[in-house]
Amino acid sequence: MSTPTFWRDAALPFLEARSIADGRGVCYAKHSHETFSIGSITGGASEYLNGRAREHVRAGAVVLMNPGDVHACNPLGEEPWSYRMFHVDSGWLAGVQGEGGEMRPYVPVASRAPGLFARLEALYATCVDPAADALQKQVAAIDFFTFMHDTLQPASAATLPDHQVRRAAEYLRDNLPAAVKLDELCAACGLSPSYLIRAFKARYGMTPHAWLVNCRIQYCRELLRRGRAIADVAQAAGFADQAHLQRAFKRHVAATPGQYRKT
């Protein structure tokens, strides 16, 4: 298994990229991101799960995950595979869409639309090019995501989640370090425990607790990018200790906190 490579640039705070050259040992638990994510399969094949969709994706395919989509992409036995993945701030992408508020989600979970793979690869090449300046990278990002939007078109506003379920998710996100109790969560969103759990799983594909852990991992990534010590990050995000963070982080990111922090 190759070590993951992360790319970030302070001039493009709305964008982060990850690359894996040999993903045979890279296994993810079901997880989601607050960001919109789009990735190119650059070699081999893998099993891709997104919500109820499950398919084998091969080199040349592009995979897409809306914010909150529960997904996983894992190796097919010993068959080689490699990929690159971009994580995009949903507020920034909403601006590209021409929306004044939330980003509207896209329907496809995978695509071989003409030009999409090649343009995504070109964007990655520009981002990691040490000779490319900030303006070049910003223009390349806007150009690609405008093309992607025009190619895919978002789903209608009717697909947006129920506001009470979204309120539950927001409450968890706003109380990451806390030991949130179910009755507190129900009070915050105005739903009964049984209905909340059913509705939450229907929308996000995971229980409220799993969502909370996922949000904590995303917060840890932010703190690690700032250079915070791993032990401090674990405490700030609500993990019991550094070992607890280590296990959860590896399951969600397929990299250790140390590998992610030193990039």
pTM assigned to the model: 0.72
End-to-end CA distance of the chain: 18
Low-confidence residues in the chain, pLDDT < 50: 157-161
CA angle 239/74/116 to nearest 5° reads 110
Rounding to the nearest 10 degrees, give the CA dihedral for residues 119, 120, 126, 127. 160
**How confident is the model at residue 65, as a pLDDT?**
94
**How confident is the model at residue 64, as a pLDDT?**
96
Would you say domain 5-157 falls under CATH 2.60.40.10? no
**How confident is the model at residue 155, as a pLDDT?**
61
**How confident is the model at residue 263, as a pLDDT?**
64
Cβ neighbours of residue 193 under 8 Å, at least 6 residues apart? Answer: 182, 183, 186
Enter the DSSP assignment of 103.
Answer: P
CA nearest to 36, candidates 118, 100, 92: 92
**How confident is the model at residue 81, as a pLDDT?**
85
**How confident is the model at residue 138, as a pLDDT?**
92
CA nearest to 228, candidates 214, 240, 242: 242
Counted residue by residue, the chain has a size of 263
Enter the DSSP assignment of 34.
Answer: S
* Beta bridge partner(s), residue 206: none
Residue 199: helix, strand or coil by DSSP? helix
**How confident is the model at residue 1, as a pLDDT?**
54
**How confident is the model at residue 99, as a pLDDT?**
60
State the amino acid at position 242 in one-letter form. Q
Tokens linked to 237: 């995000």
Each domain of the chain, given as residue ranges in start order, spans 5-157, 161-261
CATH number of the domain at 161-261, out of 1.10.600.10, 1.10.1740.10, 3.30.465.10, 1.10.10.60?
1.10.10.60
HSE (side-chain half, CA atoms, 13 Å) at 90: 17
